[in-house]
Structure 1
Amino acid sequence: MTLDRDLQSIQEVRNLVRQAKEAQQKLASYSQQQIDRLVEHIANACAAQAEPLAKMAVEETGFGVWQDKVLKNLLGSTMTWESCRNLKTVGIIREDKERGLMEIGVPMGVVAALIPSTNPTSTTMYKAIISIKAGNSVVVSPHPNAKKCILETVRIITEAIREAGGPENLVQCIQLTTMDATNALLTHRDVGIILATGGEAMVRAAYSSGNPAIGVGPGNGPAYIERSADIPTAVRQIFDSKTFDNGTICASEQSIVTERCIEDQVVAEVKRQGGYFLTPQQSEKLSGFILRANGTMNPKIVGKSAKVIADMAGIDIPERTRVLVSRQTEVSKQNPYSREKLCPILAFYVEENWEAACERSMAILFNEGVGHTMTIHSQNEEVIRQFALQKPVSRLLVNTPAALGGVGATTNLQPALTLGCGSVGGSATSDNVGPMNLLNIRRVAYGRRELAELRGTAPAPQAASCGASGCGQTAGNFTRAEIEEITRAVLRRLSAGQ
């Protein structure tokens, strides 16, 4: 008798969540020291296999550059661990005896971790580390096109947990990958929180599941080169970012926006560093390969080099080309150059001044990628400040490669492979997601004021005289004037720190 694959996958998920819940309950008895020892062991084991896992990911998915994925794996393992090594997540995490307040870290339970095909091994490492650091267990839902390398990463993690004496089934992975399995995981009542990294449809499914979720939207970050910028450095950083792993990090630049007064210098530097400006005819030809008929990004171009993409489109380009660049004047959903392109393709916009460049950048972001990331290359602190005040992004990166700056490799942001987009981007957080996003905080508050103190100078209320029938009023009822006076008294005491 052959059982239905979808039904089997649903049952597998139910078993995995049950086992994960049991494992998390065992982990709940661990001290901070035990948790940290376990997480460090996982990070070291993952780092030791960074290169073979990187090669496996490229071989299986066809995305990116294995040498760059090695660095991603180190970001997802040792860099993530080092960033949260000294973080208190277990037991009493903060205490203020003077104010009579205490905060206790409480794990969320089972983390449902959705893993994308663009960064499969590194994201698996990262989500396991931040989840366990916060006292949770993990059930991984792998992208079907990267299942082999994700399963191998989970195997390495589980072996490290076993060697460290950690609970069995602390990190598990779905093996029968079906849409029904993913849906069963997202909607399972014992899932504490969902970490959704992937396509927009998957993120929306996570938010509509009925369980708490942290998801990220698409990136479409412009890079603004302002007139005071060090132009050679700015172009180098943009190209280093856009070609890193062939552009598969969602924080990577998708457009260059610059000013008319420095246009010639920027164009010359782009060409000198390996950028190829497509002719209008070539831009039109390539545009048909960027988006599919349904308006979504064509997976065939994701993580491919400029040469491979040009060959696919039947376009001749110089041998040394690193990035394909298309001059644009329009921003719209129908214009693929003004949307996210997870490969070495950049749109190129020229504006009259920084104010116009600011408006263009906002148009690009509201077209797609609002709430995510953008970059500015400038030495003018006032312009940088104005961009920071106005741009609808969660990360404004200054004079750094966006792909690496956004994930915390070349900046002091929290190292992360899940980048929140804030409410404007439909996300529950604007953080680079870390362990503190994966625990609840129980607050203990000692009494510091009595009711009589709160009443201050307000007259003691009197019981109302309502006649023989009565009216239900008691000494606990206040007039509006009395309530206002009590409120003012409380605010005076709070402002005085009492």
Structure 2
Amino acid sequence: MYKVDKDLLAIQEARIKIEAAKEAAVELKDYSQEQLDIIVQKMAEAIAPYSEELAKKAVAETNYGIWQDKCLKNRFSSEYLAKQLRGKRYVGVIKENSQDGTMEIGVPMGVVVSLVPATSPVSTTIHNCLIAIKSGNSLVFSPHPRAKATIQQTVKILSEAGAAAGLPEGGLAVMQLVSPASTTALISHEDTAMTIVTGIPKLLPQLKGSGKPFIYGGSGNGPVFIERSCNIERAVGDVIKSRTFDNGIVSAAEQSIVLDGPIADQAKEVFAKAGAHFLQGEEVNRLLAVLVKANGELNSESVGKSAKELAQLAEIEVGSETSIFICEQDYVSHHNPFAQELFSPIVALFVEPNWQEACEKCIELLMEGGKSHTLVIHSKDEGVIREFAMKKPVARVLVNTPSTLGGMGATTNLFPSLTLGSTAMGIAQASDNISPTHLIRIRKVGYGVRQFKDCFTSEAAEVQMGKQLAIEEVLRKIINELKE
């Protein structure tokens, strides 16, 4: 009786998928933007009706989050993103200036590998698919084992619609067998042009070692500063709305609150009335026992749980309206479990006497572990807002908006994206919202417009120019005297 080596089968499947994707990529390079647009539109139209079904399936398979919120994310990717992509050019001639004699041509990267997380499996898959095909690339998905069936069904719907609209065979594929060995085979294959990784930090060493370009949609773990001039009720409402969206599973959600001293008590009162439970004494340890394993790693079974579910597991008595936990902290430390990203409706809270010290606290929080990609500030003081935007080591700064929704481009005019680039540890290919722009190379074209000697001004010409200017000045004086 022979045993089947699943790792070998997975590696072989990875190689076959990449080779087929390479052939498709060669064909796609000859597609016009108009041809690609038809494929993208048909895929978006095909997947949109499945938003609710796939959201429910994702929650059932992963046991993460809220299906209603996942449905909204799925619609955001299939409807709003598709709408924003219409009319945009990413391949062929994308910019031309006949006056300057310059031109920019978008060239697809080739074969793109996408590693999709279990936290937002459907919306991330749709997003990465649409931006990859829009920019003329072929794409191979490697699903997270915990969301494999959901991601495979999503890709099946998309690929069938794409094929019917003219997408070459192998242009969009998903791994059926998934293992660490197959992931390595996908990332390191000689025909893989780029890898997109969304929220899987354990793969970073492997990505860096592959020697290939990659985009890392990093951890959020970002702070929000509530400054004294803001609308406190609105700021508190935005934070709670954001942190409880899909039970806090979105990486762009606020992780820490920094309160401006003069409004701290008022803000806490508003938080309490809005459904926040401030952890006290032994409640902190009981909750941490549910959130974090003995070795300090995040307990995956706590991910995407509501505040009430966590309270029940931790044996904490909470009110019927409780939707979020707040734990007050004195300082930032990597030994503090609340310093790591918690994918649930829990936030740490710090109070600082003024915006200058709050600024330093936010920098501490952003630098802790080098994981943060988003900072939020609630304020009406434009001077303070600009100080925060200028000085923070972060990829994006959001102003007066929920971080989850603002970061993904729902409540802001940032590019609509479910993969948010990060400045973390200098590893990111891009630090903004990932779009088709990040999946192409820009070829510059420049027409000859002058002779080399024309770049310089001769000494004689400079003397002549000086004489001309002197004559013009004399004439201006004569004219002014005659007018007088």
Q: Same fold (TM over 0.5)?
A: yes
* Count of residues in Structure 1 that have an aligned counterpart in Structure 2: 460
Once the two structures are TM-superposed, the CA of residue 75 in structure 1 deviates from its matched residue by 1.8
Asked whether 1:256 is paired with 2:244, we answer no
Q: How do 1:84-483 residues align onto structure 2 when only pairs under 5 Å count? A: 84-368=85-369, 370-422=371-423, 426-454=427-455, 457=458
Asked whether 1:20 is paired with 2:26, we answer no
Gaps of 5+ in 2: 461-484
Q: Could you tell me how far apart the structure 1 residues matched to 2:279 and 2:310 are?
A: 13
Retained in 1: the 8 A contact 2:370–2:424? no
| 1:263-320 per-position Cα deviation (integer Å, ceiling 9, x unaligned) | 2211110111000011122112222333334433221211110011112222221222
| 1:199-249 per-position Cα deviation (integer Å, ceiling 9, x unaligned) | 211233223212111113221111111111111111111000011000111
Tell me whether 202-211 or 273-282 shows the greater mean CA deviation: 202-211
Once the two structures are TM-superposed, the CA of residue 182 in structure 1 deviates from its matched residue by 0.2
Retained in 2: the 8 A contact 1:371–1:425? no
Once the two structures are TM-superposed, the CA of residue 89 in structure 1 deviates from its matched residue by 1.5
Q: Could you tell me how far apart the structure 1 residues matched to 2:12 and 2:177 are?
A: 10
| 1:460-484 per-position Cα deviation (integer Å, ceiling 9, x unaligned) | xxxxxxxxxxxxxxxxxxxxxxxxx
Tell me whether 350-359 or 173-182 shows the greater mean CA deviation: 350-359
Retained in 1: the 8 A contact 2:217–2:419? yes
Tell me whether 74-83 or 410-419 shows the greater mean CA deviation: 74-83
Q: Note closer, same or farther for the CA distance 1:108–1:458 as it changes in structure 2 (3 Å cut).
A: farther
Q: Note closer, same or farther for the CA distance 1:442–1:320 as it changes in structure 2 (3 Å cut).
A: same
Once the two structures are TM-superposed, the CA of residue 160 in structure 1 deviates from its matched residue by 0.8
Once the two structures are TM-superposed, the CA of residue 80 in structure 1 deviates from its matched residue by 1.6
Retained in 1: the 8 A contact 2:221–2:372? no
Q: Could you tell me how far apart the structure 2 residues matched to 1:320 and 1:334 are?
A: 32
Tell me whether 134-143 or 254-263 shows the greater mean CA deviation: 254-263
Retained in 2: the 8 A contact 1:327–1:347? yes
Retained in 1: the 8 A contact 2:208–2:427? no
Q: Could you tell me how far apart the structure 1 residues matched to 2:457 and 2:383 are?
A: 48
Gaps of 5+ in 1: 460-498
Retained in 1: the 8 A contact 2:139–2:173? yes
SS of the equivalent of 2:210 reads coil
Give, as a single letter, the amino acid of the residue that structure 1 aligns with 2:183. T
Give, as a single letter, the amino acid of the residue that structure 1 aligns with 2:328. R
| 1:161-186 per-position Cα deviation (integer Å, ceiling 9, x unaligned) | 12223212211011110000000000
| 1:422-472 per-position Cα deviation (integer Å, ceiling 9, x unaligned) | 36553121110100100011122222233444566499xxxxxxxxxxxxx
Q: Going by fraction, where is helix more abundant, 1 or 2?
A: 2
Retained in 1: the 8 A contact 2:229–2:379? yes
Q: Could you tell me how far apart the structure 2 residues matched to 1:98 and 1:424 are?
A: 41
Q: Could you tell me how far apart the structure 2 residues matched to 1:122 and 1:184 are?
A: 25
SS of the equivalent of 1:443 reads strand
SS of the equivalent of 1:63 reads coil
Retained in 1: the 8 A contact 2:370–2:425? no
| 1:356-376 per-position Cα deviation (integer Å, ceiling 9, x unaligned) | 111111111111354500111
Give, as a single letter, the amino acid of the residue that structure 1 aligns with 2:428. S
Q: Could you tell me how far apart the structure 1 residues matched to 2:8 and 2:88 are?
A: 41
Tell me which residue corresponds to 1:53: 54
Asked whether 1:67 is paired with 2:68, we answer yes
The CA RMSD measured in Å over matched residues stands at 1.7
SS of the equivalent of 2:366 reads helix
Q: Could you tell me how far apart the structure 2 residues matched to 1:347 and 1:409 are?
A: 25
Give, as a single letter, the amino acid of the residue that structure 2 aligns with 1:109. G
SS of the equivalent of 2:443 reads strand
Asked whether 1:29 is paired with 2:30, we answer yes
SS of the equivalent of 2:411 reads coil
Q: Could you tell me how far apart the structure 1 residues matched to 2:11 and 2:455 are?
A: 56
Q: Could you tell me how far apart the structure 1 residues matched to 2:310 and 2:16 are?
A: 43
Give, as a single letter, the amino acid of the residue that structure 2 aligns with 1:279. Q
Give, as a single letter, the amino acid of the residue that structure 2 aligns with 1:255. S
Q: Could you tell me how far apart the structure 2 residues matched to 1:100 and 1:91 are?
A: 17
Give, as a single letter, the amino acid of the residue that structure 1 aligns with 2:401. T
Q: Note closer, same or farther for the CA distance 1:330–1:285 as it changes in structure 2 (3 Å cut).
A: farther
SS of the equivalent of 1:329 reads coil
Tell me which residue corresponds to 1:493: none
Tell me whether 370-379 or 249-258 shows the greater mean CA deviation: 370-379
Give, as a single letter, the amino acid of the residue that structure 1 aligns with 2:166. G
Q: Note closer, same or farther for the CA distance 1:56–1:319 as it changes in structure 2 (3 Å cut).
A: same
Tell me which residue corresponds to 1:489: none
Q: Could you tell me how far apart the structure 1 residues matched to 2:411 and 2:163 are?
A: 34
Q: Note closer, same or farther for the CA distance 1:388–1:83 as it changes in structure 2 (3 Å cut).
A: same
Retained in 2: the 8 A contact 1:392–1:424? no
Q: Could you tell me how far apart the structure 2 residues matched to 1:351 and 1:452 are?
A: 61
Give, as a single letter, the amino acid of the residue that structure 1 aligns with 2:113. A
Retained in 2: the 8 A contact 1:158–1:169? no
| 1:336-373 per-position Cα deviation (integer Å, ceiling 9, x unaligned) | 12321110011111111111111111111111354500
Give, as a single letter, the amino acid of the residue that structure 2 aligns with 1:323. I
Q: Could you tell me how far apart the structure 2 residues matched to 1:246 and 1:77 are?
A: 22
| 1:368-409 per-position Cα deviation (integer Å, ceiling 9, x unaligned) | 354500111111111111111111111111111100100101
Q: Could you tell me how far apart the structure 2 residues matched to 1:215 and 1:286 are?
A: 30
Retained in 1: the 8 A contact 2:110–2:193? yes
The alignment's TM-score, normalised by the length of structure 1, stands at 0.89
| 1:116-159 per-position Cα deviation (integer Å, ceiling 9, x unaligned) | 00000110100000000000000001100000100000011011
Q: Could you tell me how far apart the structure 2 residues matched to 1:244 and 1:455 are?
A: 61
Q: Could you tell me how far apart the structure 1 residues matched to 2:260 and 2:452 are?
A: 63
SS of the equivalent of 2:395 reads strand
Once the two structures are TM-superposed, the CA of residue 326 in structure 1 deviates from its matched residue by 0.8
Q: Could you tell me how far apart the structure 2 residues matched to 1:312 and 1:63 are?
A: 16
Tell me whether 368-377 or 70-79 shows the greater mean CA deviation: 368-377
